[in-house]
Amino acid sequence: MPYKMKTDKIKNKIHKRIKANDAYFEINWSKFKKAEKYDINSSVPAESGVFELYYMDNKKRLNLMYISRVWFGGLRSTIRKLTDPELEFDEKWKDVLLKHDCYYRYALSDSNKDMEDVLFYFSEVLFPGANRCIDSDRYQNIYLIEESPEKFNTV
């Protein structure tokens, strides 16, 4: 499904185009950054959006460990909490944070419904048949492409 948005692209944002009953999303991801609490506090916006968390394994590969959206509370506080072992109570999650370097990236969105559709798309591609997310029920089909400074795509 190759296409390009013909709008002015704002960095680190989700863009949408609607054609008939179909939605075409383009995610312009931020750069990958190593999860360090002081850097997160000073560089991640306290706005709504979607984000991904990865850990780097012993073979220097990034492994997706979390993808979600944030509506209330903002990206800054959510990413900060999920990447700090001092704030984590789940022992398995804490163990990953202590043993591996973690990285994150995000894309801003001012539409909760658009974020629902984006996460629905990711869940259908990454976990087909698992029914992990529901869409907003506004479109017949949802399509998505990703733009990343590192040319690293989730799907």
What single DSSP character describes residue 19?
E
Residue 152 lies in a domain: no
**CA of residue 47 relative to chain centroid, distance:** 13
Residue 118 falls inside a structural domain: yes
Across residues 39-65, what is the average pLDDT? 94
Whether residue 153 is contained in a domain is answered as no
Residues 113-133: tens digit of each pLDDT: 999 999 999 999 888 877 778
Q: How far apart are CA 33 and CA 31, in angstroms?
A: 6
Cα(80)–Cα(97) distance, rounded to whole angstroms?
A: 12
| Residue 1 predicted with pLDDT over 60 | no
For residue 3, being part of any structural domain is answered with no
Cα–Cα dist 55/4, whole Å = 30
pLDDT averaged over every residue in the chain: 90
**Six token digits for residue 70:** 């944030």
Range of the domain at 81: 14-147
Q: Does a structural domain hold residue 154?
A: no
Inside any domain, residue 6: no
In a domain, 99, yes or no: yes
In the predicted model, is pLDDT for residue 4 greater than 70?
A: no
pTM for the full predicted model: 0.89
Question: Is 2 within a domain?
Answer: no
User: Rounded mean pLDDT of 78-91?
Assistant: 92
The total of structural domains in the chain comes to: 1
pLDDT (average), residues 64-89: 93
Q: Which residues pair with 69 in a beta bridge?
A: 50
